[in-house]
Amino acid sequence: MATIHFKGKSYVQNHHLTLKHHHLVPNPDASLTDKISLHDNLIIHGDNLLALKALLPTYAGKVKCIYIDPPYNTGNEGWIYNDNVNSPMMQEWLKANQPIDKEDLARHDKWLCMMMPRLKLLRELLRDDGVIFISIDDNEVHHLRMLMDEIFGESNWVGTIVWKNATDNNPTNVAVEHEYIFCFAKNKTQLPSEWKSPISDIKQKLIEVGDKLNKNCTDTDKLQQSYSQWFKENKAYLSPLDRYKYIDFGGVYTGSQSVHNPGREGYRYDVIHQETGKPCKQPLMGYRFPEATMKELLAQNKILFGQNENKIIELKVYAKEYEDKLSSLIMIDGRIGAYDVKKLFPQSKRRFDNPKPVQLIKQLLSFTVKDCDVVLDSFAGSGTMAHAVLALNQEDGGKRKFILIEMEGYAESLTAERVRRVIQGIPTAKDEALKNVLGGSFSFFELGDPVEMQAILEGDSLPVYEDLARYVFYTATGDEFDPAKVDRERNFIGENKDFEVYLLYQPDLNYLRSTSLDLDKAEKLGLPESNCKKRLVFAPMKYLDTETLERYRIEYCQLPFEIYKFKE
């Protein structure tokens, strides 16, 4: 297989393994929950490299879908390579510690060095039937594809989506009007044979009813009457598509507000109301189509008028146009993302660059996550992912959970605040959808200190028993630690299908100096039955020979390296 080579690769290849495990420290003031927990929806403030590692004990192999939107490395985003990798060349890069611009000849190498360990950790967090989506543009698309092939395996490539997000009105040579979204599986053989939208059946029903009623009726009023009657009787079943209240000779349809220009000033012209003959009220920022396109839409009878000119016109969208497959081509105006955020922060002068439209993320998630699945976004920005998850949950009553990670200071004031507003609803919002209380909760965590190392050596802040237990249990078994299982009497900290795990430890230097795994301790465990699980025993020292260890089915594990140092 062709592999990608870049400066620094050999130093970052295993960086994710050598990173220290850090605490996640709850921040109750920034949370929106009665009970802070790592099993709640999560927002984590900190560098995602450390945060992802800190999530492993609780979430390794448990995340169904990851969406990330990393810096595209355009040369003007101001991202800085700052992973503390221990090699002279990397330290040299760190010394410069400048935002990466187009002049930086190592900018692609630095970007790949930043991405590689993160992608490796993300892969560990995915479930076997999980998928990852990654947004990217032409700056790094070719490098990212090779890196993904290497980390996830070529055979796990699921597809590449071209997201047509813009219209270039001043093209130079090739007008760039799209980005990409890669989709890779952790293990493609574990994916269902087809991704079907949960509402495909409802869409089909609407099309069939539309065709049937149209066959029997040529009068538009009667047609609508019959459909309204059917709609009333079936409303409960139609729930996710219950805005499709109308019918004409083209079939069942709904109105959409998508004539608005999101964000900035759009096109200005008059659209004359069919009955009153007066110009219709224009959207706040003007129309999003030029006048010629509007004329075509009018000619195709695709524009819906209100009772009079005071209502902004809407675009007619037929049920048959509803996208129920995850297509490799998605057409959603990219400016809608900024508009989604602006609506939630109408007073704010601060602009967040390039948030993704909620609709886009919802589309990806609607095919890949359901019920109680966990989704993760480790480059969370304005928190679009959480918004999409909460909206989907409300639509179908699901209990999907999100984990967001954002390193900037706005993790609280923007990321968490957006999620808070969406959960609680904004009673004064102009947009009906935002008045809506989506409900839910989240726990906010800060990245804390490393579990071991200096803290242990300094002796004045040795980790408490439970923290060290969590760390060694996970590092030994890869499974989640459950504090309720701890039996301090027996030094037992939990078990999985292969091992029982014991920890001889107290946050006390004298204890650490004087405690060892000896015959006394082995006898306390008792002689094992023939099929008993292996016993992993973490202790500062051991005084037992190999034969005795085998007899008691004990595997001695040294306490983390730093305790060794202390011993010396």
Ligand X SMILES: C[S@@+](CC[C@H](N)C(=O)[O-])C[C@H]1O[C@@H](n2cnc3c(N)ncnc32)[C@H](O)[C@@H]1O
Instruction: Tell whether residue 381 is a contact of ligand X (CB under 6 A).
Output: yes
Contact range with ligand X by CB under 6 A, out of 379-387, 465-473, 480-488, 526-534: 379-387
Contact range with ligand X by CB under 6 A, out of 56-64, 205-213, 364-372, 401-409: 401-409
Task: Give Cα separations from 101 to 80, 451, 517 (angstroms).
Answer: 9, 35, 55
Q: Could you give the angle at the alpha carbon of 208 between the alpha carbons of 204 and 211, nearest 5°?
A: 140
In angstroms, what is the minimal distance from the CB of 415 to ligand X?
Answer: 8
Instruction: Tell whether residue 406 is a contact of ligand X (CB under 6 A).
Output: yes
Helix H, strand E, coil C: the string for 22-81 is EEEEECHHHCECCCCCCCCCEEEECCHHHHHHHHHHHHCCCEEEEEECCCCCCCCCCCCC
Q: Long-range contacts: 176-182, Cβ < 8 Å, 24+? A: 176/138, 179/135, 179/136, 179/137, 179/334, 180/135, 180/136, 180/137, 180/141, 181/133, 181/134, 181/135, 181/136, 181/330, 181/364, 182/132, 182/133, 182/134, 182/136, 182/144, 182/145, 182/148, 182/157
**Of all residues in this chain, which one has the CB nearest to ligand X in the complex?**
381
Instruction: Tell whether residue 355 is a contact of ligand X (CB under 6 A).
Output: yes
Contact range with ligand X by CB under 6 A, out of 166-174, 194-202, 404-412, 460-468: 404-412
The single residue among 12, 63, 206, 405 that binds ligand X, judged by CB under 6 A, is 405
The single residue among 156, 382, 443, 491 that binds ligand X, judged by CB under 6 A, is 382
Nearer to ligand X, 315 or 407 (CB): 407
Nearer to ligand X, 48 or 254 (CB): 48
Q: From CA 161, how far away is CA 150, in angstroms rounded? A: 20
Instruction: Tell whether residue 379 is a contact of ligand X (CB under 6 A).
Output: yes
Site string for ligand X, 440-469 (x = CB under 6 A): ------------------------------
Instruction: Tell whether residue 227 is a contact of ligand X (CB under 6 A).
Output: no
Residue 371, exposed/middle/buried by CB under 10 A (0-12, 13-18, 19+)? exposed
Looking at this protein, which amino acid is placed at residue 82? N
DSSP secondary structure letters along 109-129? HHHHHHHHHHHHHHHHHEEEE
In angstroms, what is the minimal distance from the CB of 49 to ligand X?
Answer: 6
Nearer to ligand X, 73 or 382 (CB): 382
Contact range with ligand X by CB under 6 A, out of 14-22, 183-191, 349-357, 534-542: 349-357
In angstroms, what is the minimal distance from the CB of 127 to ligand X?
Answer: 22
Contact range with ligand X by CB under 6 A, out of 198-206, 399-407, 427-435, 504-512: 399-407
In angstroms, what is the minimal distance from the CB of 78 to ligand X?
Answer: 9
Q: Over the range 46-65, which residues count as b (16 or more CB within 10 Å of their CB) and which as e?
A: bbbbbbbbbbbbbbbebbbb
Nearer to ligand X, 377 or 479 (CB): 377
Contact range with ligand X by CB under 6 A, out of 1-9, 22-30, 238-246, 353-361: 353-361
In angstroms, what is the minimal distance from the CB of 71 to ligand X?
Answer: 6
Q: Which parts of 451-508 are beta strand (E)?
A: 492-495, 499-503
Instruction: Tell whether residue 340 is a contact of ligand X (CB under 6 A).
Output: no
Structure letter (DSSP) for residue 484:
G
Q: Over the range 11-39, which residues count as b (16 or more CB within 10 Å of their CB) and which as e?
A: bbeebbeebebbbbebbeebbbeeebebe
Looking at this protein, which amino acid is placed at residue 76? N
Contact range with ligand X by CB under 6 A, out of 6-14, 24-32, 354-362, 390-398: 354-362
Token pair in block for residue 196: 């079907």
Instruction: Tell whether residue 356 is a contact of ligand X (CB under 6 A).
Output: yes
Site string for ligand X, 3-42 (x = CB under 6 A): ----------------------------------------
Number of residues that bind ligand X (CB under 6 A): 17
Helix 384-396 / helix 417-424 crossing angle, nearest 10 deg: 20
Site for ligand X in 35-74 (CB under 6 A): 47-48, 69, 71
Chain positions contacting ligand X, by CB under 6 A: 47-48, 69, 71, 79, 337, 354-356, 379, 381-382, 384, 405-408
